Structure 1
Amino acid sequence: MTENTISNAVAVRDTGPEAMVRQHRDDLTLVLPTHVKGETWMRLATGALRRDENLRRVATRNPGSFMNALLECARLGHEPGTEAFYLIPYGNEVQGIEGYRGIVERIYRAGAVKAVKAEVVYSGDHFEYNPDMARPVHRPDYFGDRGQIIGAYAYGEFQDGSTSKVVVINRAYIDKVKKESKGSSSASSPWVKWEEGMVLKTVARRLEPWVPTAVEWRNEAPVPGVAHVIDPALPAAAAITPPAPAVEDSDEDPIDAEFVDDEPSGWPAAAQPGSGARS
């Protein structure tokens, strides 16, 4: 390698997106909730750039979009480039997208919900629900041919054992959200390759207005070594049950908005819904 090449490499390193992240360290860590360690968060942010060359190229061309994505990630209290919050290069910009894990984690952080149930319903499943029922009756055959996805449901179980509003979405709603998603018909779209994961995210979004959410843990800290969100490798019927935090009234207003999904088609290999990959 010539001296000129080495000089150019050093210049790129010192002015590239990693340098920009380090330069704005105080701005980024200032908005982090207290349960997130700033040093760990910063390492994950720069590590995401090293793992994904396409992300690095787009972040170099459009650093503003990359910083906006990181700021949103920090505000929500998620780790960047993980299944809680994806950093996705799409066209000439970096998009920050909260994943299914991230949505469920924010529900737990508020402290009012001790378990979240979210499941996809297939045409071969037995499913029964009406507004007079506390919870749906759902009997899937995990080892048989379950047919096509026809809907999904989600609800939260509060600390006192009561149930939140049960949110049910049908195939028409799923198709509407999918249609409004960028590149949803592309062969590389997560809607094509990991439809079940995208449906779970959609129904989790619909649950948000009916349960408290927070960016900060309401109890002192989550129990170390205990998973707070469902592993996508497990059956969709598995309830997501963290250790019960102390009951505390939440001053968070639920998100009162209709969900419109806006997923790009260029998901990196390590950040695909349902892949089970971890950063």
Structure 2
Amino acid sequence: MSQISNAIEKRDQGPSAVIEQYKPELALVAASHVKVDTFARLAVGALRQNPKLAEAAQKNPASLMSALMTAARLGLEPGTEQFYLRPIKRRGQPEVQGIVGYQGIVELIYNAGAASSVVVEVVRAHDEFNYVPGLHERPVHRVDWFGDRGDLVGAYAYAVMQGGATSKVVVLNRDHIARAKAKSDGADGEYSPWRTDEEAMWLKTAARRLGKWVPTSAEKRNAVVERLDTPGLPAGSEASPLDDADPDDEGPIEGELVD
């Protein structure tokens, strides 16, 4: 990030102008399906909609570009539920942090071309949920959408592969979620997304675990390799594009979120 920082200091200054100036660099790292002009407009729109984000980007444009480079490499839309842009303070200094959302993980699974559908859901105390491995191919989950569903008690995720087979089903209870949360620095902070958007974090934890068992790709693929339709087959030797950008079980934020 230091090279980006030094280069930015020699260029101009407003974050929107920085994004425009660095479109060629974004194009170099972006997944092939990313339209850089559209990508840049989404990023600029996110800045305009959030004054705190714009302020952090103004004071630390290198952090903004680092986040955008990650989003571009993953092929995810910045400033959306695929890839959040959030202002934080790290050691008292404002910066922009990119956070992969659960919808971004689902997008990466679809991009790999092996799954025809992906299901990621939370379970609440008053829901009916039944899943016995070896007996049920998929969870049976009945919800009263218009009643009081109660507190969060678990989450699950699975993919239906192109040939109709079901991937490994990931089922997480409160303890699993609590262990994932415990590994997130600042999870109990006032502005942590574990507090501001707890359900999304439960969904993300389940989706991230599913990513261990089904292929994920930053590049959209049309051809499907036959072996990828095997139920429960791990993603294989290929590194997940999330490994560096979103380490498993690590929280999405390591600082204080600016409200």
TM-score class, shorter-chain normalisation, is 0.7 to 0.9
Helix, strand or coil for the counterpart of 2:156? strand
Identity within the alignment, %: 51
Q: Deviations over 1:52-83 (max 9, x none)?
A: 22112212222221111010010001121111
Partner of 2:251: 261
CA offsets 1:179-225 (integer angstroms, 9 cap, x no match): 33344334544323432222111110110010111111112xxxxxx
> Which deviates further from its counterpart, 130-139 or 88-97?
130-139
The equivalent residue for 1:213 is 216
* TM-score normalised per structure 1: 0.74
Q: Secondary structure at the match of 1:147?
A: coil
| SS of the residue 2:220 aligns to | coil
Partner Cα distance (1:145, 1:43) in 2: 40
Does residue 1:59 correspond to 2:57, yes or no?
Answer: yes
Assess if the C-alpha contact under 8 Å between 2:88 and 2:96 holds in 1.
yes
- Matched pairs, number: 230
Matched, 1:140 2:131: no
Unpaired segments of 5 or more residues in structure 1? 1-12, 220-245, 269-279
* Aligned twin of 1:152: 155
| Further displaced range: 93-102 or 120-129 | 120-129
RMSD: 2.4
Contact 2:74 2:218 (8 Å CA) reproduced: yes
Output aligned runs, 1:83-232, within 5 Å.
83-91=81-89, 92-132=94-134, 133-219=136-222
* Structure 2: runs of 5 or more not aligned: 1-10, 229-235
Question: Cα gap change, 1:145/1:44 in structure 2, threshold over 3 Å: closer, same or farther?
Answer: closer
Deviations, residues 76-119 of structure 1 (Å, cap 9, x unaligned): 01121111111111012211111111110111011100011111
Instruction: Determine helix, strand or coil for the equivalent of 2:18.
Output: helix
The 1-side partners of 2:55 and 2:199 are apart by 30
**Structure 1 residue aligned with 2:73, among 72, 75, 88?**
75
Q: Deviations over 1:241-273 (max 9, x none)?
A: xxxxx53467882637642223366377xxxxx
Partners in 1 of 2:123 and 2:256 — Cα distance? 24
